[in-house]
Structure 1
Amino acid sequence: MIISPPFLPASGLTSTDASKPDPMMDAVDRFELAHGVYPVAADRTWHCGSHLAPDVHGPVHAIADGEVVAYRVCQHAMDDGNGNAGFVLLRHATETGDGRALTFYSLYMHLLPLAEYHTFGHDGTQLPAFLHKPSGPDTQGKVTPAAKGNGQKVRRKDVLGFLGRYQGVTYMHSEIFMTPGDFEAYFGHTQLGVTSPATATTSDCWGHTCFTIPAGQQFYALPQGTDAHGKLHGIAFKAGYAGTNALPLAVEMYFSKGAKYTNVWSIAADGSRTLLTSAPVEEKDYEYDLYHRATALYEACPSDGYEMLRFGRILSTPATLPEAARATWVQIPYDTGKQGYIDISRAEVKKLSDADFPSFMGWQKISEGNTPFGSDGLCDVDLLKKLVRDAAASEQPTVVKEATEVQKADALSYYVKGHEEVRRALRGFICNAPSEWDSTHNETRFAKLLDEGGFYHGNRKGYEDFLKYLKELQFWDVTGLPAGQKLWFFHPLAFIRHFRKCGWLSKGETVRCIRKTIRDHNREVVPLSKSEVIKRLTEVAERRPANLHLNFQIAARKYGISSSSLRLAHLFGQLTAETGRLEFMVEGGKPEYFDKYEPGHPEGDAVGNTVRGDGVRFKGRGIIQITGRSNYESYGSYRCMTFNNDETSSLISTDPYCTCDASGWYWAQKQRLQLVKDPETHRKKFIPLGKLSINYWADQGADDKAILQVTKCVNPAGLSLEWRSQGFRNAFYELNDEVAQNSDYKPTT
């Protein structure tokens, strides 16, 4: 699933703070206005959208590939130029994991009318053709009618319109919602709404790892079994403090630019959380060193151990690593100023990920029986306080009988707008509520306006004129969606930020990362059709196994490649040349071609071939083709399998999991070496260059130098560099947030 915010820069945003891995969303978060806060409006009714006002009066982009459900294009503004009623509603269908289809809708409301494009220097020709003219008659004093989508498709980053205004304020109203059926189909398989989540049992695991530690657990200054030098099986551990945690702990761990970061909260009896880490605790280069740690600490099966270190549990099935050998010692702050080691493999430590939407990470279902909205449809500030854990569950609400509706609205508005921590908590609300664009709910929602103290008290005509105007703005009747039903709403920026961590690509998204490349300078290779790429991803061929797509995604997730669009683009760039755009997973050539890999030949000796026939037996195989007995046996030791004979060596090109995982293994364990002269002996020797794993080199950027360095990890001679570069640039544009293709990207470190 590739998703991005509706406002995008001309070039990629970077951050010098690696603990903040999504600088784009950090920037877009600042665009949210303090009025119209999700999910409560100023009049205490549902407001299941967010008002976004970027600092530039620019284009609004589709957040993901989608299909147009409904839209309205206005020629002129309404309300004497103070309001814009233009909108686009999209339906998105994508994937987030093995068998996990996700369907949701995104709304972009208050888009600029056509007549004002020239005022801001906008070029409307960049919009899809159906948005070039009004969606209906442009009648003075009336809102332009909405139109039903007619199968129009849009791509992520397509321009849907330009930032408009409403009631004189420049902003866009943004919504993301799901129908009840789509919501249950996806979230029915997560732990959303579960009070005490258990360790996840599915392989759907992505984003940040998160887990809970019960109160009263023993933390150690060093892992059990360390020697006098603080080492366990040769791995050094920094000493902490021994002790126990008085309260249960919620822990979030994630990797960014090679480092591991940890946030910890203590959980009070009422469910409220207190952050124990003022800033994420950094363990520098921890991710780059995962392969080294796994091979040292989990001799019984380093591959499973690698997953324990990254995910806190083994995702591969069946698991090979024995239960008794799964100890995974992690340093956790368990009290203010104190951190110690605990074995997170223990059953009492519940392991989950962002894919599970656990309640202890702030996600709440707001529906019948768990809502701050009363039977009158209005939000009560005391009930809201309970849901954001700002008042004890047993505390009695403050009843002020003499308060008017205006006073109640002011009190709620002050509480929400004046407390940043409250607004952060509201971002985790997933609300079952009616749509404000469905006229079915109008009489129920706004009847209070006629009551004493209400805006239209004693003014029935004004109230009816208001409802008439409102119905002109509403558009539910053209969407084809059922009227009168409640939907499931998400804070749009929280939804986008969360699912950006998914890393899983649908087949269609994978196709676009592969199908267009240039083989040699100024010579274009015929682009592959979508059907041809999908065939290569799913169907078996003489030199390619079936079911590559699923296993490619699993390997990219396991080795942290898909955690970054930059890393994933570098992988696509390399497999462009290594596999001929996924056409073959085994090295071709006549038998005599492989003579150079026989023992006694320089190239054969370099890859550890020792027996006649090893040249063919251990030919290049995999997405990143590993070659030679040495690599095959090393990968076998890592997996606790055998790949070093005629019967098993071919598995790396015939078994789809091995084909992809062997390449991920190569990516994770690759150490670049540099030949230098020893100043004392004056002899030449190899020394490590950079950190362990190709992820280190991929993290350096997107310029020509970075592409060359990644290429040399895979092919030391740098062969087919032009093809690899073009494959990278094509994939990087598809994966990142930039609107200009082929621009260089170099992160600030």
Structure 2
Amino acid sequence: MRSATRGYVAGRAITGPQIDDSSLFQPPLMIISPPFLPQNGLTSTDPAKDDPMMDAVDQFELGHHGVYPIAFDRRWHCGMHLAPTEQTECVRAIADGEVIAYRVSQKAISDGQTKRDGSPDLNSNIGFVLLKHKTDTGEGRTITFYSLYMHLLDINNQQRIAPQPTNPPAVGTSSALPAWLLSPADGVQAGGGKKVYRKDILGYWGHCHGQPHLHFEIFMTEEDFRAWFSQAGHTVQLGEKNPATPVSKDYWGHSYFVIQGGEAIVSVPPGHDRSPYFPPLIAGALSAQNKLYVEAYFYKGQRYTRSWIEKNGKLEALTPAPVRDPYADYEYKLYQRATDLYPKCPSAGYELLRFGRVLSTELPALSRAESRTWIAITYDANGAQGYIDISQDAIKKLSDADFPFFMGWQKIAEANTPFSQDGVCDFDELRRIVDLVEESETPEQRREAEYKQEDQLTAYVYGNDAVRGKLRGFVCHAPSEWDASGNESRYSRLNQADGFFGKRKNFDPQGYENFIRFVRQLQFLDQTSLGPGKKFWFFHPLAFIRHFRKCRWLSFAELKRMFPPTALRKAAGSQWVSEPVHPQMNTVDEYGIELNKAMRKFGIGTSLRQAAFLGNAIQETQWLRLLAEGAPQQSRYFPWFGRGFLQLTWPDNYVRYWRFSGRQVDQALASRLHEAARVSDQARTNAALVAAEAHVPSTLKSWRDDVATKKFEASDSAGAYWAWSDAARPADQPPILRRETKQVGNTSKPFYSSEPFGSVAATVNVGYPSNSFAAINGLQARYQAYTAALVMLTDGIRFPDAHGAQKELPDW
């Protein structure tokens, strides 16, 4: 059972270090989002689609121009073109970042085309914002990358479609542009230390050549690319055709298994003929000449897999769509599965079932026989499923942190393709694509402008799913098209006799000069701190975002801003007070890494689950102030008072956690403690537990203290409690926020309730699924903590105001 006296210290405010409240609620440093956040991306009707927001934004990728990563004349085009269905869908920063450079224009420019009256057609926008992002992806893992938002709408047209405040804020928000993005200036402007935050509005998508779109890029410098992909101890196997199970414990996202040919597939694992965990499937075997690749992931309580088989060096998909595991609610029941199948150390078994390997070094080792981990996989083209033991050393275990090649990731660099120094892509497969398009053109089409021929290339790629899918995984080492210093080498072949403009001299003699003049008006990179004459590593932007959204590692800066400005507390009688929140920041510095590991281990890896977990943990620890409950002598469960991030309470919960972690607790002692707790609870006094304390060995007393003082124990115990109480199930439900108020003196103080989160809080309070909100300690403060976490972690949840209007930020 859980305590009804935890949370706020009665009668007094929580004290702690003073911090600037105005900085608490900016979107987070590390979490990444797409540059558009359409409302239809918040939910999905497909139970296997684990990122509906990215699915929605994928639909904005234009199918008629701007293909990544090549242009019609084999020049690199290392960005993509996006256009939502509504012009008023604003462009947003994908992550917290530093402004490197920007340009704001009052009006559009002309690419040389004219209107019917002969006046210049102002059909192109030169506005842009270039951001630098520095984020954490794991313990000791910091990645630096850049995002570019090109062809932002000019002020004249922007004011027409989305009028901005006459007195704009100095710093941007998710609902209004900052003053610096509303002030046209001559030329490229340096960032000057300006900061932006995820979801901040950067502008609205404009045009180029009259074609409406946002040109969007994500890239890394050569130095930053090497620093992350080749860091000692964490070398990433990007594109490696024969990957190995990494020595590093760096794991995130989906799991992947590489299974050599010749392995037997069984219908039921040996010794589990009657086990409910293994519904009978179909036995079989892999051909010795073939290799099987399996992707596995959990989403909303279910386990899904996809499979590919390699035959003669070519991959063949065996599962057109993700296949749900035959055991229903696999993840929701993962704790019990691990407890039943791995009795020596269920915690290690839990990691084997989730990751395919044990990542925690604090757990007792399991023998080879004790480590067997049978999972269901699809292994042939007929869709046959069977079980295989993935704990075998011969089966390689990877995750998204390894960028596996069979998921499409491939480096396109000097090491594997004959690059030209002039910025022209000579990679054979891309070159073949361009040649096929050129061969299909009519004489009339070859007379069209260069961007029109670009459209034909894009149409070909988008009409070929295999080509399109492969291009998304290319990580390309190339110069930037926005660097004017390379124009001569990059474009000169266009003006040669057999080049695009060379073949048009008789009817477009100034075509090349006009083209260069227009391009220079767009370029800017040589005027930034990145400098001219360099190559960068480019990613397909939406593929990059989708990939790193699976990481969910929260930086210390994020965790330190995961708090509401104030918290409601019930005072004497029917009175309510609202107190400033003062979090204990040192707790994040000391425990943040292990807290991240615990969330990774126990599947607290979606924005809603993290918000629900942290909404409880942050309030239960009195805003991270106490990892051991205050004034415990007064509690009826003393000395088994709350400890850790979810305040593990009562001896039964401690014993359950220790046994889960592979530690032995005498059953007679456990029974004695259970009875003493029952008597103490019934008598509303701790006398029976205090008497039983004389029989508790010093080892258990030390373990008990460890839950509050040791980083692993404080975090892992909270995750285990989350798992066995089945809190993930209600956490997976949409929030459905309702604005409520409490009267605080003469003021009506708003907060947002949520029935699914209330169920999580009730479940955490009692240790098993519950919808009883009445006895939840500090429920309103938990709601406030949950609201703050939703603002930080989610993409576009709306909060109703006092009049029912939906807003991007809550009323605090």
Question: Same fold per TM (> 0.5)?
Answer: yes
Query: Which residue of structure 2 lines up, in the alignment, with residue 482 of structure 1?
Result: 531
CA contact (8 A) 2:41 2:54 kept: no
Query: Which residue of structure 2 lines up, in the alignment, with residue 658 of structure 1?
Result: 713
Find the aligned partners of 1:410 and 1:620 in 2 and give their Cα distance: 63
User: Which of 60, 69, 83 matches 1:53?
Assistant: 83
Find the aligned partners of 1:424 and 1:178 in 2 and give their Cα distance: 22
User: Which of 336, 341, 357 matches 1:292?
Assistant: 336
Give the aligned residue type for 2:79.
Answer: G
Find the aligned partners of 1:702 and 1:206 in 2 and give their Cα distance: 25
Aligned to 2:488, what secondary structure does the other structure show?
helix
Query: Which residue of structure 2 lines up, in the alignment, with residue 500 of structure 1?
Result: 549
User: Which of 615, 631, 648 matches 2:703?
Assistant: 648
Query: Which residue of structure 1 lines up, in the alignment, with residue 9 of structure 2?
Result: none
CA change 1:154–1:14 in 2 (3 A) is: same
Query: Which residue of structure 2 lines up, in the alignment, with residue 127 of structure 1?
Result: 177
Find the aligned partners of 2:70 and 2:392 in 1 and give their Cα distance: 42
Aligned to 1:236, what secondary structure does the other structure show?
coil
Query: Which residue of structure 2 lines up, in the alignment, with residue 731 of structure 1?
Result: 789
User: Which of 222, 233, 257 matches 2:268?
Assistant: 222
Query: Which residue of structure 1 lines up, in the alignment, with residue 643 of structure 2?
Result: 621
Query: Which residue of structure 2 lines up, in the alignment, with residue 464 of structure 1?
Result: 513
Deviations 1:89-123 (A, max 9, x none): 00000101111101000000000101112321332
Deviations 1:344-382 (A, max 9, x none): 000111001001111122100001142386677544685
Aligned to 2:703, what secondary structure does the other structure show?
coil
Give the aligned residue type for 2:598.
Answer: A
Find the aligned partners of 1:250 and 1:712 in 2 and give their Cα distance: 41
Aligned to 1:652, what secondary structure does the other structure show?
helix
Can you give the 5+ residue segments of structure 2 that lack an aligned partner in the other structure?
A: 1-29, 111-120, 169-175, 448-452, 571-575, 666-695, 737-753, 767-774, 801-805
Query: Which residue of structure 1 lines up, in the alignment, with residue 209 of structure 2?
Result: 167
Deviations 1:42-89 (A, max 9, x none): 232100000001001121000000000000000001112211110000
User: Which of 643, 654, 659 matches 1:637?
Assistant: 659
Query: Which residue of structure 2 lines up, in the alignment, with residue 694 of structure 1?
Result: 727
CA contact (8 A) 2:95 2:133 kept: yes
Give the aligned residue type for 1:497.
Answer: R
User: Which of 31, 35, 58 matches 2:60?
Assistant: 31
CA contact (8 A) 1:98 1:203 kept: no
CA contact (8 A) 1:576 1:723 kept: no
Aligned to 2:481, what secondary structure does the other structure show?
coil
CA contact (8 A) 2:798 2:807 kept: no
Within a 5 Å distance, the mapping from 1:700-711 to structure 2 comes to 700-703=733-736, 704-711=754-761
Structure 1 residue 9, shift from structure 2 partner: 2.6
Find the aligned partners of 1:331 and 1:632 in 2 and give their Cα distance: 33
Within a 5 Å distance, the mapping from 1:353-392 to structure 2 comes to 353-371=399-417, 377-379=423-425, 382-384=428-430
Query: Which residue of structure 2 lines up, in the alignment, with residue 70 of structure 1?
Result: 101
Can you give the 5+ residue segments of structure 1 that lack an aligned partner in the other structure?
A: 137-144, 389-396, 539-546, 598-614, 671-692
Whether 1:213 and 2:282 are equivalent positions in the alignment is: no
Query: Which residue of structure 2 lines up, in the alignment, with residue 184 of structure 1?
Result: 226
Structure 1 residue 520, shift from structure 2 partner: 3.5
CA change 1:375–1:104 in 2 (3 A) is: closer
Whether 1:240 and 2:281 are equivalent positions in the alignment is: yes
Query: Which residue of structure 1 lines up, in the alignment, with residue 677 of structure 2?
Result: none
Whether 1:42 and 2:72 are equivalent positions in the alignment is: yes
CA change 1:552–1:523 in 2 (3 A) is: same
Question: Which TM-score applies when normalising by structure 1?
Answer: 0.85
Structure 1 residue 590, shift from structure 2 partner: 5.6
Query: Which residue of structure 2 lines up, in the alignment, with residue 578 of structure 1?
Result: 620
Structure 1 residue 275, shift from structure 2 partner: 1.1
CA change 1:444–1:741 in 2 (3 A) is: farther
Question: Which TM-score applies when normalising by structure 2?
Answer: 0.78
Aligned to 1:314, what secondary structure does the other structure show?
coil
Find the aligned partners of 1:128 and 1:663 in 2 and give their Cα distance: 41
Find the aligned partners of 1:702 and 1:411 in 2 and give their Cα distance: 45
User: Which of 326, 342, 348 matches 2:371?
Assistant: 326
Give the aligned residue type for 1:26.
Answer: D
Give the aligned residue type for 1:485.
Answer: K
Query: Which residue of structure 2 lines up, in the alignment, with residue 526 of structure 1?
Result: 580
**Pairwise CA RMSD of aligned residues?**
2.7
Query: Which residue of structure 2 lines up, in the alignment, with residue 392 of structure 1?
Result: none
After TM superposition, the structure 1 stretch with the greater mean CA deviation from structure 2, 628-637 or 493-502, is: 628-637
Deviations 1:467-495 (A, max 9, x none): 23322211012321132111000000001
After TM superposition, the structure 1 stretch with the greater mean CA deviation from structure 2, 249-258 or 441-450, is: 441-450
Within a 5 Å distance, the mapping from 1:428-443 to structure 2 comes to 428-443=473-488
Whether 1:196 and 2:242 are equivalent positions in the alignment is: yes
Find the aligned partners of 2:226 and 2:761 in 1 and give their Cα distance: 44
Aligned to 1:726, what secondary structure does the other structure show?
helix
Structure 1 residue 506, shift from structure 2 partner: 0.8
Whether 1:714 and 2:764 are equivalent positions in the alignment is: yes
CA change 1:735–1:665 in 2 (3 A) is: same
User: Which of 116, 139, 158 matches 1:98?
Assistant: 139
Aligned to 1:443, what secondary structure does the other structure show?
helix
Matched residues, percent identical?
46
Find the aligned partners of 2:616 and 2:412 in 1 and give their Cα distance: 46
Structure 1 residue 409, shift from structure 2 partner: 7.9
CA change 1:549–1:175 in 2 (3 A) is: same
CA change 1:577–1:238 in 2 (3 A) is: same
CA contact (8 A) 1:11 1:740 kept: no
User: Which of 332, 345, 368 matches 1:301?
Assistant: 345
CA contact (8 A) 2:607 2:794 kept: yes
CA contact (8 A) 2:265 2:387 kept: yes
Query: Which residue of structure 1 lines up, in the alignment, with residue 463 of structure 2?
Result: 418
Whether 1:350 and 2:404 are equivalent positions in the alignment is: no
Within a 5 Å distance, the mapping from 1:74-93 to structure 2 comes to 74-79=105-110, 80-93=121-134
Give the aligned residue type for 2:178.
Answer: P
Structure 1 residue 534, shift from structure 2 partner: 3.2
Find the aligned partners of 1:410 and 1:106 in 2 and give their Cα distance: 24
CA contact (8 A) 1:578 1:625 kept: yes
After TM superposition, the structure 1 stretch with the greater mean CA deviation from structure 2, 724-733 or 238-247, is: 238-247
CA contact (8 A) 2:103 2:189 kept: yes
CA contact (8 A) 1:507 1:534 kept: no
Aligned to 1:650, what secondary structure does the other structure show?
helix
CA change 1:67–1:398 in 2 (3 A) is: closer
CA change 1:454–1:699 in 2 (3 A) is: same
Within a 5 Å distance, the mapping from 1:587-598 to structure 2 comes to 587-589=629-631, 591=633, 593-594=634-635, 596-597=636-637
Whether 1:509 and 2:558 are equivalent positions in the alignment is: yes
Find the aligned partners of 1:346 and 1:197 in 2 and give their Cα distance: 15
Give the aligned residue type for 2:77.
Answer: H
CA contact (8 A) 1:9 1:739 kept: no
Structure 1 residue 455, shift from structure 2 partner: 3.5
Give the aligned residue type for 1:588.
Answer: G
Aligned to 2:490, what secondary structure does the other structure show?
helix
Give the aligned residue type for 1:505.
Answer: L
Give the aligned residue type for 1:585.
Answer: L
Find the aligned partners of 2:702 and 2:316 in 1 and give their Cα distance: 57
Query: Which residue of structure 2 lines up, in the alignment, with residue 536 of structure 1?
Result: 587
Find the aligned partners of 1:363 and 1:406 in 2 and give their Cα distance: 34
